[in-house]
Chains A and B, each alone.
Chain A
Amino acid sequence: MIRWLLWIAGGLVLGGIVHLATIMALPRTASRDAYARLAALVPINSFALLPAPTPEGSIVPFMDPAFAVAACRYDLAKGPVKLTVPVSQAYTSVTFYTRYDVAYYAINDRAAGRRIIELDLMTTKQREDLPDDEEVTAADRLIVESPSLTGLIVARAFSPEPSQLPAATAALQAAQCKPQ
């Protein structure tokens, strides 16, 4: 009897381990995560506009229809990426996601404080390798460290009224992310 109880208890403990392991492994094995959904549409190191969500479907769920959205899949293997996003009239933000969809950094037009959001994306290693001259460390150069070699940059431009969506979309059309 006791022996069977032990087998059951062992099964329960192992079940807990299986549960934790599957939860932890899921982000790396999900084949329909946001990055995979965008991969067919968005080039590497270049922005592409995402189709606006409609009742027939949207590329990722819970997209805000009041925003024009452009995305770039970055790859830092060949060096840092320089990002420029022109600011639209109302509100513009840029969010950085790792390859496994963790939002690790976001900045909006007011925090950037200019008519254009401009920054350099690099890995911690690439940042350490930067030469220490003054030009590079100048305060006006915004550097974002990516925890992963690849990931997503998503730029969103707000349109307070539907009539302003074309203007917001046009602002994003000039967005760039390319290796330096």
Chain B
Amino acid sequence: MRLVIGLLLSFVIAASIGLGSTWFALTQNLSFGALELGAWKGYPRNGTTGIDPYARAAIARNGELPVGSGDGVGFTAAVDDNGRPLDGRCDVVVRGTTPPARYFTLTLYTPGGQLVANSLDRHGFTSQELVRDASGEFEVTISPRARPGNWLPTGGIESYVLMLRFYDTSLGVATRAGREAPMPAIRSTRTCQ
């Protein structure tokens, strides 16, 4: 009798710990080997056969097609440089330069990876569309209301993620520190709707 109860206890613990931690790892997007540059996080290894099992499981679950390493590298940001979650009701400014790449695109998604409806039908910028200042830096204002310059509308959604993708770039699995990869800063301003 004690054996049966012991076995049952073991199995219940095994099932709850095992499945619970798997669920946690997938919903929290736990994967290793992130290349963190400021608020931007990239997973260059996800575009190779060296992808780790956690990232593989997460990609299989959400149905994504990762950017291949010979194609480019993608970085996402869900928070600003101070760690505050990006809020579509506030003004956020993305300013700076980018690492060398033939082209890059900056796109705004819902946390689930869908585009956001807005009156302009604008969902992002390509490197060719951005207006730059004399020093070569660009500034994109992400805001629910129209702004002069490079305005990226949020449609007023509560939370969103930014994705910066570099195509035909030397960035990749071997990239380590920020010096070879200057990323634009993300600042939230206090202007909220």
Contact = CB atoms under 8 A, between A and B. Distances in A.
A37 B26 CA distance: 19
Band of interface residues on B: 35 or more
A105 B70 CA distance: 7
B67 A61 contact: no
15 contacts: A11-B12, A18-B15, A21-B18, A24-B53, A27-B56, A27-B59, A34-B64, A37-B63, A53-B114, A60-B65, A62-B74, A64-B105, A101-B64, A103-B48, A103-B51
B113 A62 contact: yes
A21 B168 CA distance: 36
A56 B62 CA distance: 17
A96 interface: yes
Band of interface residues on A: 35 or more
Contacts of B65: 34, 60, 95, 97, 101, 103, 152, 154
Nearest to A159: B126
A103 B68 contact: yes
Interface stretch (A2-10, A121-129, A170-178): A2-10
B112 interface: yes
Given A23-B57, A103-B47, A103-B48, A12 B117 contact: no
A167 to B, nearest CB: 14
Interface of A is mostly: mixed
A96 B10 CA distance: 43
A27 B62 CA distance: 11
B60 to A, nearest CB: 4
Contacts of A34: 59, 63-65
Interface in B1-34: 2, 6-7, 9-19, 21-22, 25-26
Contacts of B155: 55
